[in-house]
């Protein structure tokens, strides 16, 4: 078993990276086939729905944890313009880049191949990056835009709520139940903020150190599994399963053998690259599946294997290629870290 976490910051970050690694695996696994695709077995539809109840809340929780752990809220208060510029460069630039090339790629490829959610035109596709986003071909990258907004508004809200993460958390819980239109991802901004602030609260109270080694982690894991199999609607299931996963998944990862944790941490360090490019590589694998595999040999399990391997490892190969080419590493490498 892995050694229970001590108070050292490096150990704390190692667990965060490992949890991110598991989270990004789930992201890829849920992106393989979209909801409503004809011929998809019921088990995958159920799996996909259950994963969507917690995998993005978990990643948002980890982002909040890192945000508070790195004291970004205080840095923003002392130099907001510089902080905002760095956050926009880190998140908005890759968001726009991936959004545009994905729209263009889907529109162009749809002339020859069956492409999921191909835009009817370039104009409608590019517009959907910011308007009617729930039906956008690039909805999968919403996390970057929403995380940018959280990074910019949280320092001000922290001051507004008298520098209390608890009060800010209650505010985030309250706005969870507000329903907004899907313009500029406003619906997701209010929907996922509670998980981001929960991460800030956890970091402020040194949750990872206190929870590691506690018997409560077994109760959290057992409770999470029971909640996950319950029949939820999405709104309440996301809130309950999402919050409990923030306790249960780090507890589970902390119990893994060291080798497994190391592998997950490696994927966690590459999570940005995988998040940005997994859908593109999944789409390429689907096209290859249709072209290369004779119809008599096509079956759902093979499609899942091809798309998952491509979606997870394709971006890693891309990252390694970028690292080896100085010109690419200098220009885009920083966005893949």
Question: Does residue 310 surpass a pLDDT of 80?
Answer: yes
DSSP sequence for 324-335: HSHHHHHHTGGG
Given a contact cutoff of 8 angstroms between Cβ atoms, the answer to whether 287 and 279 are in contact is: no
Question: Does residue 10 surpass a pLDDT of 80?
Answer: no
Q: Who has greater pLDDT, 117 or 211?
A: 117
Residue 254: CA count within 13 A, CB half-sphere: 28
Given a contact cutoff of 8 angstroms between Cβ atoms, the answer to whether 75 and 160 are in contact is: no
Share of the chain above pLDDT 90, in %: 78
DSSP designation for 133:
G
* Mean pLDDT value of segment 266-274: 95
- Cα gap 50→30, rounded to integer Å: 10
| Domain boundaries along the sequence of the chain | 9-336
Given a contact cutoff of 8 angstroms between Cβ atoms, the answer to whether 7 and 209 are in contact is: yes
Given a contact cutoff of 8 angstroms between Cβ atoms, the answer to whether 26 and 271 are in contact is: no
Residue 224 has a pLDDT of 97
Residue 210 has a pLDDT of 74
Given a contact cutoff of 8 angstroms between Cβ atoms, the answer to whether 114 and 125 are in contact is: no
Residue 282 has a pLDDT of 95
Question: Does residue 264 surpass a pLDDT of 70?
Answer: yes
* Mean pLDDT value of segment 116-135: 91
The helix (run of H) or strand (run of E) holding residue 323 is helix 300-324
Which whole-number Å values give the CA distances from 139 to 126, 135, 146, 177, 183, in the listed order?
Answer: 12, 7, 11, 21, 12
Q: What pLDDT band is residue 11 in, cutting at 50, 70 and 90?
A: low
Task: Kindly give, in sequence order, each residue whose CB lies less than 8 Å from that of residue 327, ignoring residues fewer than 6 positions away.
Answer: none
Residue 293, φ and ψ in degrees, nearest 5: -95, 120
DSSP designation for 183:
B
* Mean pLDDT value of segment 115-121: 85
| DSSP three-state, residue 77 | helix
Angle (CA) 137-55-250 rounded to 5° is 155
* Mean pLDDT value of segment 262-284: 95
Share of the chain above pLDDT 70, in %: 96
Using one digit for the tens of pLDDT, what is the confidence trace for 66-104?
999 999 999 899 999 999 999 999 999 999 999 999 999
Given a contact cutoff of 8 angstroms between Cβ atoms, the answer to whether 261 and 2 are in contact is: yes
Q: What pLDDT band is residue 216 in, cutting at 50, 70 and 90?
A: confident
For the entire predicted model, the pTM comes to 0.92
Question: Does residue 300 surpass a pLDDT of 70?
Answer: yes
Which whole-number Å values give the CA distances from 52 to 29, 80, 237, 288, in the listed order?
Answer: 10, 34, 9, 27
Q: What pLDDT band is residue 174 in, cutting at 50, 70 and 90?
A: very high
Given a contact cutoff of 8 angstroms between Cβ atoms, the answer to whether 75 and 87 are in contact is: no
The helix (run of H) or strand (run of E) holding residue 164 is none
- Distance in angstroms between the alpha carbons of the first and the last residue of the chain: 29
Question: Does residue 271 surpass a pLDDT of 70?
Answer: yes
Nearest to 250 by CA among 240, 264, 239: 264
Given a contact cutoff of 8 angstroms between Cβ atoms, the answer to whether 244 and 224 are in contact is: yes
Question: Does residue 63 surpass a pLDDT of 60?
Answer: yes
Residue 8 has a pLDDT of 45
- Cα gap 307→132, rounded to integer Å: 27
């Amino acid at each position: 078993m892995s050694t229970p976490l001590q108070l050292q910051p490096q150990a704390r970050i190692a667990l965060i990276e490992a949890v991110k690694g598991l989270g990004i695996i789930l992201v890829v696994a849920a992106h393989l086939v979209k909801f409503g695709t004809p011929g998809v077995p019921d088990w995958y539809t159920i799996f996909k729905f259950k994963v969507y109840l917690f995998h993005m809340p978990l990643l948002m929780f980890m982002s909040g944890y890192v945000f508070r752990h790195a004291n970004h809220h205080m840095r923003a208060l002392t130099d907001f313009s510089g902080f905002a510029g760095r956050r926009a460069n880190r998140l908005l630039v890759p968001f726009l880049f991936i959004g545009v090339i994905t729209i263009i790629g889907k529109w162009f490829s749809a002339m020859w191949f069956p492409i999921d959610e191909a835009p009817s035109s370039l104009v409608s596709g590019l517009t959907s990056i910011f308007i009617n986003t729930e039906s956008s071909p690039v909805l999968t990258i919403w996390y970057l835009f929403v995380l940018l907004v959280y990074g910019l508004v949280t320092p001000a809200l922290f001051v507004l709520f008298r520098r209390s993460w608890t009060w800010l958390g209650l505010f985030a819980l309250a706005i969870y139940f507000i329903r907004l239109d899907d313009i500029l991802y406003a619906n997701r901004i209010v929907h996922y903020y509670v998980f981001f602030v929960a991460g800030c609260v956890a970091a402020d109270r040194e949750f990872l150190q206190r929870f590691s080694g506690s018997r409560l982690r077994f109760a959290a894991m057992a409770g999470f599994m029971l909640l996950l199999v319950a029949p939820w609607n999405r709104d309440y299931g996301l809130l309950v399963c999402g919050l409990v996963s923030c306790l249960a998944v780090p507890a589970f990862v902390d119990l893994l053998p060291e080798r497994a944790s190391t592998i997950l941490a490696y994927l966690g360090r590459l999570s940005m690259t995988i998040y940005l490019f997994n859908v593109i590589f999944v789409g390429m694998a689907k096209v290859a599946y249709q072209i290369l595999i004779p119809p008599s040999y096509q079956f759902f399990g093979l499609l899942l294997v091809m798309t998952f391997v491509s979606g997870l490892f394709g971006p890693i190969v891309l990252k390694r290629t970028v690292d080896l080419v100085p010109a690419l590493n200098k220009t885009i490498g920083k966005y893949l870290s």
